[in-house]
Amino acid sequence: MAAPIAIHLEFGGGAELLFNGVKEHHVTLPSQSEPWDVKQLLVWIQRNLLKERPELFVQGDSVRPGILVLINDADWELMGELDYQLQDQDNIVFISTLHGG
């Protein structure tokens, strides 16, 4: 059994509007048999934080195009994307790309 882990979630660039305008969320992921990865985190966010219009946040089992995921201040592409195994105290940021000028 993997112990519960506490992580810090942040939403920005307008993605926070899907979460009642709240940018920062300190959450604890419950203990489970396998270590938590980002793919499971997305499911957890959908079930626990995201109430309405999930299509504005996820597409298939990943985030929708136009949302950049950062793991501990680095592009998630450098960290293994959906397969990255979450560690206690990780900082995961979801940023919606801006287009205005």
Partner 1 sequence: MAQEVCSLKAQLKEQEKEIAALKKKLSQLEKSHTSALELHDKVRPLTPLKAKLALSNEDIMRYSRQLLLPELGVQGQLNLSKTSVLVVGCGGLGCPLAQYLAAAGIGRLGLLDYDEVELSNLHRQVLHGEENQGQAKALSAANAARRLNSTVECIPYHLQLSSENALQLIQQYDIVADCSDNVPTRYLVNDACVLSGKPLVSASALRMEGQLTVYNYSGGPCYRCLYPVPPPPETVTNCSDGGVLGVVPGIMGCFQALEVIKIASGQGSSCSQQLVMFDAQDARFRSIKLRPKQAGCAVCGENPSVTKLVDYESFCGSAATDKCRKLNLLPRDQRITVQDYQSIMDKAVPHLLLDVRPLVEVEICHLPFSLNIPLSSLEERKTEHIQLFQERISQLKQQMAGDCRPPVYVICKLGNDSQKAVQVLEKMSGSEVDSIMVKDICGGLMAWAQKIDPTFPQY
Which residues lie near partner 1 (CB under 8 A)?
12-14, 51-53, 55-56, 64-68, 70, 73-75, 77-78, 95-101
Q: Which is nearer to partner 1, 29 or 90 (CB)?
A: 90
Other C-beta atoms within 10 Å of 69: how many?
A: 20
Q: Are 18 and 95 in contact (CB under 8 A)?
A: no
Residue 80: CB minimum distance to partner 1, A: 12
Residue 37: CB minimum distance to partner 1, A: 19
Residue 32: CB minimum distance to partner 1, A: 29
Other C-beta atoms within 10 Å of 15: how many?
A: 22
Q: Which residues pair with 58 in a beta bridge?
A: 63
Q: Which is nearer to partner 1, 29 or 57 (CB)?
A: 57
Rounded Cα gap, residues 11 and 25, in angstroms: 9
Q: Is 63 exposed, middle or buried (0-12, 13-18, 19+ CB in 10 A)?
A: buried
Q: Which is nearer to partner 1, 2 or 13 (CB)?
A: 13
Q: Which is nearer to partner 1, 2 or 14 (CB)?
A: 14
